[in-house]
Chain A
Amino acid sequence: MTEELKVAVERKPRGAVLYTKGYINNVGGEEIANRAYELMDDGVRTLLLNLRETKIVNSIGISILIEIIEKMMDKGGKIAFCCLTPVIHKTFQIMGLANYASIFDNEEAASKELGL
């Protein structure tokens, strides 16, 4: 049984948005990391992860998201999340993501605040 995560990228004038669809586990987290690192290598320093179509994130997937945040912070950039389910939002707070990445209710608010 496999649950493949789909990731779509939309470049914006001042950054990019990653849209995830499906389960963020170790494999899904690595897929997000690969896309995020490609964007960072391409000079993107503001990245928004829209998790509108992700309903479950496990602790291993979250550990990979933390690595992505750390890497972006090392480059002087920032990462934010939007459209989280209440349980994923709570999980992110427990795991410490909320300390280093902003969380927004919707993409419009995030884009405005991040200046995308």
Chain B
Amino acid sequence: MTTTAERQMELTLPMVPDIEIAAARAVGNLAREMGMSSEHVDEMMHAVIEACINAREHSGCADNRIYLRFLGTSQDDGSRIDIWVTDHGRGFDPEEARSRRTAPGTPHKRGRGLQLIELHMDEVDISTTLNGGTTIHMVKYEKKS
């Protein structure tokens, strides 16, 4: 399989209200340049928004920054976008967060951000350590039709 790195972008954003929109627009633009479908673009934008909100609301980081990296690559059978959203905050226990979930479709007022990320993206990996920060790595694939 031939893989070609085509697009890469790194952003450092302040944790201010609505900054997640800037991050979502950036990944949306990259995804459109990669020829991804509008539905996949929307799903990635929603996932990035939830990841940024989690970082802003729960990380408790001292530097008040969110670090984002987007990497778009083309493969013979389609393309993929890798997204990393990093904070330097207190970290969390992903399994504990997942254990607090209710079943999809059950009305629940808060705490669905991680669940939405996992349902909108094809792959999600969380690296987090106590007081060592958190990185959410997400992948979206677009197969050639």
Contact = CB atoms under 8 A, between A and B. Distances in A.
A86 interface: yes
A25 B107 contact: no
Contact of A96 (B24, B45, B105, B119): B105
Given A56-B42, A87-B42, A91-B116, 10 more contacts: A2-B18, A59-B53, A66-B107, A67-B109, A69-B107, A87-B120, A91-B46, A94-B116, A99-B105, A99-B107
Interface in A50-80: 55-60, 62-63, 66-67, 69-70
B interface, over-half SS: helix
Interface of A: 1-3, 23, 25, 27, 55-60, 62-63, 66-67, 69-70, 85-87, 90-91, 93-100
Interface of B: 16-22, 24, 39, 42-43, 45-46, 49-50, 53, 104-110, 112-113, 115-116, 119-120
B32 to A, nearest CB: 13
